[in-house]
Structure 1
Amino acid sequence: MLRTALRNVLANKARLVMTVLAVCLGVAFVCGTLVFAESSAAAYRAAASKDFAGIAVTVTPKYAPPGAGEEAPGALDDALVGKLAEVPGVAAARPAADGSATLNGADGRPLRAGRAWSNLAAAYLPGEDGNDSRHPLVEGRAPRGGGELAVDSGTAAAGGFEIGDMVTLATDGPVLKKRLVGIVKTEDSRVTAGGTLAVFDKATAQALYASPGRYTSIDVSAEPGTDEVELAGRISALLPADRAEAVTGAAQATQQATYTDTLTRGHQKMPMLFAGVSLFIGSFLIVNTFTMVVSRRTREIALLRAIGASRRQVVRCVLWEAVLLGLVASAAGFALGLGIASVLPGLLSTPQDALPDGPLVIGPLPVVAALGVGVGITVLAAWLPSRKAAKVAPIEALRTSEQPPTATASRVRGVVGLLLLLAGGGLLVSLTGAKDASEENLQNAMSGCALLVVAMIVLAPLLAVPVIRLTGRLTGRFGITGHLARENALRDPRRTAATASALIVSTALVAGLAVIGNSTGQALDRQAAAGLGADYVIGSRGGMTAIDPGTEKRVAGTPGVKTAAGIADSTVFTGGGVRRIAGIDPAAVGDVMRLDFVSGSLKDLGPGRIALSATVAREQGVSAGGQVKARIGRNQEFTRYTVVGVYEDNPTAGEVLGSRADVRRDGFLPDSVQRILVRTDGAAVSKTTEDGLRAAAGNSPLVQVKDRQALVDEAAGSLADLLTLMYGLLAIGTVISLLGIVNTLAMSVADRTREIGVLRAVGMDRAGIRRMIRLESVTVAAFGTLLGLTGGLFGAWAVGSLTNGAMKEYSLALPWGTLLLVCLVSLTTGVLAAAVPARRAASLSPLEAVAER
């Protein structure tokens, strides 16, 4: 039976090549993603190891917990550096004063400000030779005073800096201006992957990031043969246990590699999702191909049964064919996956987020995955056709045509499909009253959508007849070729439905995502400015940075500004959860924030009093006049706060509103504000006003100035990943559908050789034959597209209810342009898929075709 299987694969290799390609795509995405993940992880580990090369132990300060009172002075000073240098096994002790600094480029715009974690700053600390080995100079000289700095060569190129330029930067709060006197080189992976580096003289760095005479860390290198762990133990014995600790260099390298790997782990999710969808859709092509192959070999299988082959042997024969096919697809997919892995870093890297360079790392997991996925999916998809093959009785050898399904089989299919449809549809409809997107509701939505897709696939053969007869009225306008195309599509509804399955699934996915994405995008547009009465929002780029305290007064004095209200943002712990609290001045906030109160008001807001959003109030079970226990920011003690009002959920206000005095006192950044809401005279928005506000903020790279439209555009930009996913799924579905239709039509042409010969003999020309095959292909594509659109739109309507419960502004909005694109792509797929089969059919000689046996 193994020899028989091998012979069958070789005999049908032209027909099975489409199946190989479909499986190959899925395997390629899986293997490519796994190789990319291993290679990028190895590159990060190598980069991190390079960062900590030569460092055996690092001594870092311990900080008192927030709210623990005044911190003791840092223990890391020159005296400690000297002591560490004398510890047995220590080769050298090198102090550092490191921190973070964000720069403006030469054009005045913030430079790589979206990556605060990799915008580094350090002190230039020369060794005995007068040079800093960690920051070797490339050009110019080292900074010598508080008004000078150096940057790395990558930062200089990105910012357009030259020696002698004045550079604007900020560490936290006030804007600083320093003259660029040198350009250095660095191999820190955080900088080379798209960050920046600013280097100050020792005294300036200490004042900015530690305190005068103190350091932020001390790096210790070991003598050859010294064990890092033992050395760390000796050093720890010298340190004040409450103010400093020792960490090995290996532990730091591992920690940094893990951190940077976590930041980019999302890059792996989308390719793996494409792999899953590709394999899911491709499985329909495999089932269809093996079903058609088994149907064509009915007499052959019957003869095998007649000469003694058992049902089990027939099943094994078909499954062996699937194994051989899967092995070929796995090998091809693995090779293609290596190509995908090699181009992914370039596709996923941006100037702000560059992935590290490194060789491809091919571990055992991608190889095992290629075989498991390629062979496993193919064998599973071929199992049903193999069972069908085993049921072929020897008497079937006397029949010349395939028997249609019995009425009982059709009724069973209809009942099963209807039950699945009712279960999936009922589950989705039950979500229309959902008030939030809870985990349970999301699971029900996913289950409902899965049942709906399965129901459409099960019912597709039964729906094919009425739907194709309906669409056949359009193809009928092409005359006899249109009528023949319709009848050919209806000849075997099961084959037609199986061929259209890939389009059904991909169209349903894309249509559903398109509708949800468009509706959510419009809701985000409306929500971005909802509750905002201000015309501009001035905000810090990160929650751990603050706006210069003097900025609020300067903004208020800017020409054209009517009101400037500073908002102190922090976190509040209440009811077992962490919320965002905005500290406001009730007297000024009315001009810049639109609040719709369900109960109470801001009139009594003050120290010890807060207002809650409707969602938080519902979760806490309180209303205006009630009390909640909470603690703000770094305050370690819970306090009872009186609830003075409950307002409708508002993205500008956040979850909790409190007294600005309370938040500024207890927040993680005391006596600071993180946002300034600005109302202009006559709601004027202009470049002049914006430039004036930026100037009032000192052109700080840590501060953003956005008008209402900029907020809306920023919210819309969050859908970029969803759009990429949507069009990627459309491309995958189109490619696999194209392969499936080509496969089906090719086999259909082979089955109808004599029929085509008769048509040619009675007068149909080659153009008519080609037109008939194309119209049949378009009919199948139109059927799959129509069924997929119906399922996708219904699913989007039902699932959208979850968003509607969580986002008040959400409403169903159909993206007509995208839906039209889906239809055009699907129909174009039908036309392209028919090209080769149509040409082959038209090239048949009438006499030879009629003589075909």
Structure 2
Amino acid sequence: MKSYLSLIPISAKVRRRQNRMTILCIVIAVFLVSAIFSVADMMLRTQMNRAAGKDGSWHLQIAGITQSQAEQLAQQPDVVCTGAGAVFNEGGEEDYRLNGKRVVLYGCDVQFLLVNRSVAFAGTFPEQDGEVLLGKGAARIFGVAIGDSVTLKLPDGQSRTLTVTGIGGVDESYYEMQFALVDIYLPQETFESLLTGQGEALPQTVYDLQYTSAAKAAKALPQLQQQYGEDAVHENLNVMGSAGQSNSTAFRTVYGMAGVLFALVLLAGVLMISGTMNSNVAQRTRFFGMMRCLGMSKQQVVHFVRMEALNWCRIAVPIGLVLGTFSSWAVCGALRYGIGGEFATTPVFRLSMGGLCAGVVVGVVTVLLAAQAPAKRAAEVPPVAAASGSEQAAVVHHAANLGSGRTETALGIYHATASKKNWFLITASFALSIVLALGFIVILQFASLLLPSLAPWQADVIYTGYDNERVLPDTMAQQLRRMPGVARVWGCTGLVHVPASSDRNNVEQVTFCSYDDFMLESSKSMVVKGRMAKNSGADNEVMTMYNKTNPIRVGDTITVNGVPLTVVGAFSQGIFPDDVTIIAPETLFRRVAGEQNYNMIGVQLDRTASDETVLALAAFSSDQIVVQDLRESNRQDRGTYYAARIVLYGFLAIIGGISLLNIVNSISMSVSARMKQYGILRAIGMDDAQLKRMISAEAGTYAVSGLVVGIALGLVLNRMLYTRLITHYFGAAWQVPWGCLAVIVVVVLAAVVLAVYNPVRRILMQPITATISEL
């Protein structure tokens, strides 16, 4: 033997079964980190591609500068492309019409389109008067192709015939769902000449800068803001945020939460592995005492334990990386092929170097950190332990206080608390698992509130009056119901700034809305306070919205047009987003406000509906009626909702599983470390039932101390996160999560039962002599 380190592979073979749990803990830590980082890497790539398609590939936008200043910026070595553009009549309110439709006019250069699109547009960019580039939605509505003509009608009554040279504009996801608003793109000179001829003030030109990387843009941002003013320079939040370079508070909050989550996972791994290694060292007291007798110094013992831990990494890290990679492929595959939509381009069978490197680094670092305390403990083993085999780290000055209870129960509690360091490690391991669960529950609730979940009445095609005018008659809703491919049609009316009074004198005006019978029935699942109002409206019962800025509470009486209305419930979300809103059944609404046209009609399609069905529904579009196709938006929202829930609940399941395994492992290793003592107790007369009660008492002590500390710290974290995230943004008051606490207690007790079962069974199956002689 050339070195003491030559004993490491020999010890690994001899103690293969005892080392199995330690290796499993390292595998889990590497698997968790590599899977999380790999999925995050793939999602980041997907988000960056999606951001480029939706918000463009530019990084910084500057307004209020001259063309010569823009040319100077374009000459900087880090700037790849500079696009100039201006927009007029963005809401379609001015009297400009393209083939009878309200039109948004863009005056830009070809670079502006290139940095605001993910793919090239069809055809060529217009270069002279009489040429135009149409948005994709406009080409679909008019049924025109490249080379066809469209007519632009101006406010002064003149009309211009424009030849289509290309198709494909900016923000296509918005314009493609419009049927009353279209977009066109003109050369800057033509754009300015047209508006000047109509006596319009020219809109401000903005310059979009695309850099070689988001990091270069982030570096240039402070200097540009100092030079041109903070209000003149804006960053592309999605592109910069996806690259981790955004100064946005929202993105920094996300980065901070990711950092905290990473630190907690790392800490959980350290405690889990440290606990197993500590128990491993405790079982080999005689071995380290013997090595000290043979001349191994304390520093050599520390080095031996660390190298032994790294030897476990040689086996555990590759296994964890493989499992993490396969898991990330499964998650990405579920997102791409199971959900689709915005996740349809998610990479699946790709290796994430970031995920693999994070797994390796975290695995090795976690093991080295976890090995510190066990290594020092092993170094403190005196040479005399080789003869005595003593595993008692602390000097015993008096007999255990057994009290008036059962002897075996008192011994179990004493075993758990005798070694303060071991008790602390196991308690901390328990507590961290509980704190993680209670903290993540709040993040899960916050994410669920942010997710764009679809209401039961969510429309596939929606009609609104332009500028919210009430121009949709009930006869139109009846006509829509008779059209093929239509499943349901609902209508509602919203009157804004309606004078009102409250019995608590805290309301002066409200948004007064009507829901028809279908909307009321569909909204029953969205009642979060009180109960649903009666459809008949006989008792003057109304609903409101539940949010922190709404002064109306369930039980209030709101008087509108001299009619007292009783608020009996609150919805989590509704058609009209106004804070001070009351919602009445249609019968009651008409009795209070009189006969009114709708200002919103929603259409839900059945499975037989096609694009032709939507085009037929779009025929109702006019200068006063806005029609929107929400099918793709709904599909994306639904995909985002389910994808986020899969990821969030999957991560919660991983945390729960690791917490359970951590608890089982901690107790099992602690019990295994005392195998020799249990053998001695059996030799002097302890029967099997007493042995079970003693080990159960020891495990129960760990569980109780872990529950007390974990729940105390976890509730503090739970309340802090809830107050900052949910109460601050949504107004809901924090309450003790009794249901979650009950689940945690049940899981911990189940873990104690599982942890006790295997060691007890192993002890009882072994002869007493074998248990005493086991190292």
Q: Does the 8 Å contact 2:86/2:108 carry over to 1?
A: no
Give 1:335's aligned amino acid.
V
Matched with 1:377 is 366
Q: Spell out the pairing of 1:661-680 with structure 2 (5 A cutoff).
A: 679=582
Deviations 1:273-298 (A, max 9, x none): 76543331221222222223333333
Q: Does the 8 Å contact 2:431/2:707 carry over to 1?
A: yes
CA drift at 1:827: 0.6
Matched with 1:743 is 669
Structure 1 position 325 matched with structure 2 position 248: no
Matched with 1:292 is 279
Q: Does the 8 Å contact 1:59/1:247 carry over to 2?
A: yes
Matched with 2:5 is 2
**Match among 740, 752, 759 for residue 837 of structure 1:** 759
Matched with 2:425 is 498
Q: Does the 8 Å contact 2:41/2:355 carry over to 1?
A: no
Q: Across the two proteins, how many residue pairs are aligned to each other? A: 558
Matched with 1:354 is 343
Task: State how far apart, in whole Å, the 2-side matches of 1:250 and 1:758 are.
Answer: 76
Task: State how far apart, in whole Å, the 2-side matches of 1:488 and 1:720 are.
Answer: 42
Matched with 2:563 is none
Question: TM-score, normalization: structure 1?
Answer: 0.50
Structure 1 position 553 matched with structure 2 position 435: no
Aligned with 1:389: secondary structure? Answer: helix
Residues 799 and 93 from structure 1, CA distance in 2 versus in 1: closer, same or farther, beyond 3 angstroms? closer
Task: State how far apart, in whole Å, the 1-side matches of 2:644 and 2:257 are.
Answer: 15
Residues 591 and 803 from structure 1, CA distance in 2 versus in 1: closer, same or farther, beyond 3 angstroms? same
Q: Does the 8 Å contact 1:27/1:373 carry over to 2?
A: yes
Identity %: 17
| Gaps in structure 1 of 5+ consecutive residues | 82-89, 103-119, 131-143, 147-185, 219-239, 409-464, 526-535, 567-584, 603-647, 654-672, 705-714
CA drift at 1:320: 0.8
Task: State how far apart, in whole Å, the 2-side matches of 1:798 and 1:245 are.
Answer: 42
CA drift at 1:737: 2.0
**Match among 32, 36, 59 for residue 35 of structure 2:** 32
Task: State how far apart, in whole Å, the 2-side matches of 1:565 and 1:828 are.
Answer: 56
Task: State how far apart, in whole Å, the 2-side matches of 1:809 and 1:764 are.
Answer: 59
Task: State how far apart, in whole Å, the 2-side matches of 1:756 and 1:258 are.
Answer: 67
Deviations 1:592-628 (A, max 9, x none): 999849xxx99xxxxxxxxxxxxxxxxxxxxxxxxxx
CA drift at 1:31: 1.9
Residues 243 and 830 from structure 1, CA distance in 2 versus in 1: closer, same or farther, beyond 3 angstroms? closer
Task: State how far apart, in whole Å, the 2-side matches of 1:340 and 1:555 are.
Answer: 52
Q: Does the 8 Å contact 1:563/1:680 carry over to 2?
A: no
Matched with 2:86 is 62
Give 1:376's aligned amino acid.
V
CA drift at 1:821: 0.9
Q: Does the 8 Å contact 2:321/2:359 carry over to 1?
A: yes
Aligned with 1:63: secondary structure? Answer: strand
Task: State how far apart, in whole Å, the 2-side matches of 1:806 and 1:42 are.
Answer: 31
Q: Does the 8 Å contact 1:28/1:337 carry over to 2?
A: yes
CA drift at 1:726: 5.8
Q: Does the 8 Å contact 2:703/2:749 carry over to 1?
A: yes
Give 1:502's aligned amino acid.
S
Residues 732 and 292 from structure 1, CA distance in 2 versus in 1: closer, same or farther, beyond 3 angstroms? closer
**Match among 656, 660, 673 for residue 730 of structure 1:** 656
Aligned with 2:182: secondary structure? Answer: helix
Residues 101 and 504 from structure 1, CA distance in 2 versus in 1: closer, same or farther, beyond 3 angstroms? farther
Aligned with 1:210: secondary structure? Answer: strand
Residues 125 and 251 from structure 1, CA distance in 2 versus in 1: closer, same or farther, beyond 3 angstroms? farther
Q: Spell out the pairing of 1:131-280 with structure 2 (5 A cutoff).
A: 198=176, 208-210=182-184, 259=238, 276-280=263-267
Structure 1 position 695 matched with structure 2 position 601: yes
Residues 362 and 391 from structure 1, CA distance in 2 versus in 1: closer, same or farther, beyond 3 angstroms? same
Aligned with 2:391: secondary structure? Answer: coil
Matched with 1:338 is 325
Structure 1 position 315 matched with structure 2 position 302: yes
Deviations 1:278-334 (A, max 9, x none): 331221222222223333333333333333322222211111112222333322221
CA drift at 1:99: 4.9
Residues 261 and 652 from structure 1, CA distance in 2 versus in 1: closer, same or farther, beyond 3 angstroms? farther
Residues 338 and 189 from structure 1, CA distance in 2 versus in 1: closer, same or farther, beyond 3 angstroms? farther
Aligned with 1:590: secondary structure? Answer: strand
Structure 1 position 764 matched with structure 2 position 764: no
Deviations 1:454-499 (A, max 9, x none): xxxxxxxxxxx99xx99x97xx6xxx76555445434545434423
Residues 392 and 592 from structure 1, CA distance in 2 versus in 1: closer, same or farther, beyond 3 angstroms? same
Matched with 2:745 is 823
Q: Does the 8 Å contact 1:782/1:826 carry over to 2?
A: no
Give 2:470's aligned amino acid.
K
| Gaps in structure 2 of 5+ consecutive residues | 57-79, 97-103, 114-120, 127-131, 152-166, 191-201, 218-234, 245-250, 478-489, 510-546, 553-575, 604-624, 632-640
Task: State how far apart, in whole Å, the 1-side matches of 2:287 and 2:584 are.
Answer: 87
Aligned with 1:405: secondary structure? Answer: coil
Task: State how far apart, in whole Å, the 1-side matches of 2:182 and 2:21 are.
Answer: 64
Q: Does the 8 Å contact 1:61/1:243 carry over to 2?
A: yes
Residues 391 and 798 from structure 1, CA distance in 2 versus in 1: closer, same or farther, beyond 3 angstroms? same
Give 1:7's aligned amino acid.
I
Q: Does the 8 Å contact 1:547/1:674 carry over to 2?
A: no
RMSD of the alignment, in Å? 6.5
Residues 45 and 352 from structure 1, CA distance in 2 versus in 1: closer, same or farther, beyond 3 angstroms? closer
CA drift at 1:721: 9.0
Residues 801 and 386 from structure 1, CA distance in 2 versus in 1: closer, same or farther, beyond 3 angstroms? same
Structure 1 position 565 matched with structure 2 position 513: no
Deviations 1:70-113 (A, max 9, x none): 999766799xx9xxxxxxxx9972668565879xxxxxxxxxxx
CA drift at 1:374: 0.8
Deviations 1:679-703 (A, max 9, x none): 5668978999999674399795589
Structure 1 position 93 matched with structure 2 position 93: no
CA drift at 1:774: 4.7
Q: Does the 8 Å contact 1:122/1:199 carry over to 2?
A: no
Aligned with 1:209: secondary structure? Answer: strand
Question: TM-score, normalization: structure 2?
Answer: 0.54
Task: State how far apart, in whole Å, the 1-side matches of 2:755 and 2:590 are.
Answer: 53
Aligned with 2:673: secondary structure? Answer: helix
**Match among 379, 383, 393 for residue 394 of structure 1:** 383
CA drift at 1:803: 7.6
Matched with 1:668 is none
